Each structure stands twice: as C-alpha cells, then as structure tokens.
Structure 1
Amino acid sequence: MKQEYIITVYSENHIGMLSRITLVFTRRKINIDSLTVSESAIEGIFKFTIVIKSTPDLIVKVVGQIEKQIDVLKAFYHTNDEMIYQEIALYKVATEALYENDTIEKIVRNAGARILEITREYTVIEKTGHKTETQELFFELNKFKVMQFIRSGRVALTRDPIERLSEFLKERDAVLEQID
C-alpha cells in the first residue's frame, strides 16, 4: 500500500546533481509531489527534500539508488509522523474584494494567514502550513476570485533530536582514520 514519504538527500553542490537525483524517480515512473533544495546546517552541504507516494519496499530501493549517485553523501526516508514540515503559499486577490466587506479579512485571520502587500489593484496574502491548510485557504479565497496562487515545496526537519547526517559523517570519518 502506498503512503507519503519524505526523502532527504545530502550532497555537495555540484552541477547536474538535481538532474541525476530526479532521474532515479523518472526511471521508476515515480511522480515527485514536492521538491525543495537548500543549504543545510553543515557548510558546503545541500539538502534535497523530496515528497513522494510509495510502497515501503520501493522507498528502500529508491533511497539506495540515490545513495549510489556520485556526490551524494547520504539519503534518508521518513514518514510524515517522523517529520516536522511546512509549506508556504501566496495568494493574490483583488484589493476591491477586501473593501466590499470584511469577509476576506475574517478568512485571513481565521486561517492564521497574513497580508504581505496591498496595492490599489491587488492584495497578497501569505499562509504557512500543511498542504491541506494552504489548499483550504485557496478554496475560501477563490470565492473572491484568486488572481494568482503559488505553493512552495515542503521544508522538513526530523523529530529526532540528533542530526543523522552529522552522526553518519562522524562514523565515516572514524572509519577513514582507522584505515589511514
């Protein structure tokens, strides 16, 4: 049975790395639901956060294939329960709709969103949360005709108090010291 997994991949920042990682999914005909890449807490190391729906057997194989890629230091997979995650969404609505009545203001307040910018023509609203929350706000605001909408990829941290990559690097370095 398929479920949602969050894969975190740590690598050095080399040209073509994103392409090589996504090719692993393409070859297995796995759709990527969300992809975010950023610097990690470790200088020079980048973190790819990838959300897919998969079976437990397939996720193990995919992560194993990703780890075989040159320049990938380590890859992990987690279920949503093992992670703390958020997405950000931006909504552009006509400013005129805000002035007609206070419904949009109430929707924004009830959703825990905030207004980023107001111009004569449009107002930009920001909401941080899970996909279901940002999508729900879209449906509410779309009653007033959302002009533009965008949602970011997922950003996520493990609930584990230990940074698993740091532990992996310490163990790897200890092994390398023994070899030398």
Structure 2
Amino acid sequence: MDIVKPPTAPSPKAEGERRGLILVHTGHGKGKSTAAFGLALRAHGRGMPVKIYQFMKVPSARFGEHRMFEQLGIPIEGLGDGFSWKSRDLEHSAQLARDGWARAEETIRAGEHFLVVLDEITYPLRYGWQPLEPVLACLRERPAHVHVVLTGRDAPQELIDLADTVTEMTLVRHHHQQGVPAQRGIED
C-alpha cells in the first residue's frame, strides 16, 4: 500500500444551480441497490419524500429492505414476478414491467417526491420488456426538482449519456465464486 498525504485544501466548490439529478448505479459488482437505498435513507432523513420501485421483486417481497423501509414509512413497491429464471411466463413478466413503468412514470412526472428509485430497471430495458425511449423522455421531462436513481447491470449507453452521475460497481471478487451462498441481511 502506498502512503499518501491527506488533502490540505478543499475541493473546488461547484457554482451551478441546484436541480434534480439522474443517478445510475450499474456494473457487475455488488452494491447497486444498496447504494440507491442509502440515498433513499439520506433523503428521508432530511424529511424529503421518497418512493422506491423494484422492477424485479414481487409485490409481496419481505426482504430486509422492505421490512426496514416499512418501519421508516418509506414506500417501496415490488413490480415484477422475480428474476427471469423464476418466471413461468415471460410475456407476463414483460407486461408487469410495462405496467410498473407506467406507475413509476406517473410518480416521477407528478413531482411529489424528492427522490424516486427505479431499482433493477435495467433488466426490463435490456430484455426488451420496456422500451427505452419513454424512460429517457420521462427523465428529460421530469420536474426540475425530482432526483431519480436507476439501478441494474449493463445500463444502456443512452441512459448513461443522459445521467448526471454514473457509478459502475466493478466485480473484483464475489463470495459466490468461493461457494458461499447468499445470506439474509447481506443479499436480501
């Protein structure tokens, strides 16, 4: 490890106008949803209204984040029927994604929430279940104060180009590669 000197001066201060941001968390590493949920907690902690949509989770999901957000009063909705390998009917999964997008779009355009999280939205986009252009149009046309976070692997380039902040989670090592299964409280 290289030892470096700590900074002695602050970073230059941004002088632009504050506005709603589009943030994309993508890549094959772990932490995309977790980072988005951290932003949701941060905004909620400041008294800002937040809404979370999960495009691949079922409406009845009771993962750790659902339990905690329910306790905190942060609305979180599963819009899907699980990941594609669990689906019994991919056309039904596609319809759920389109219906879910309609709900999310209505929320974004209404402008009542400071932050809207579109968790795992890249999957229905990449599978062709939800057309990309309506998503891009909504993001461009959203009320100026609304922040939107979009998560999932392989974010389309058009979405990356539109975003204000893009973070790619890079896989260096994953415990699954060592034979360690998913664990409650870590992956749920």
TM-score by length of 2: 0.25
Between the two structures, name the one with larger relative contact order (CA 8 Å, sep ≥ 6).
Answer: 2
Give the structure with the higher percent strand.
1
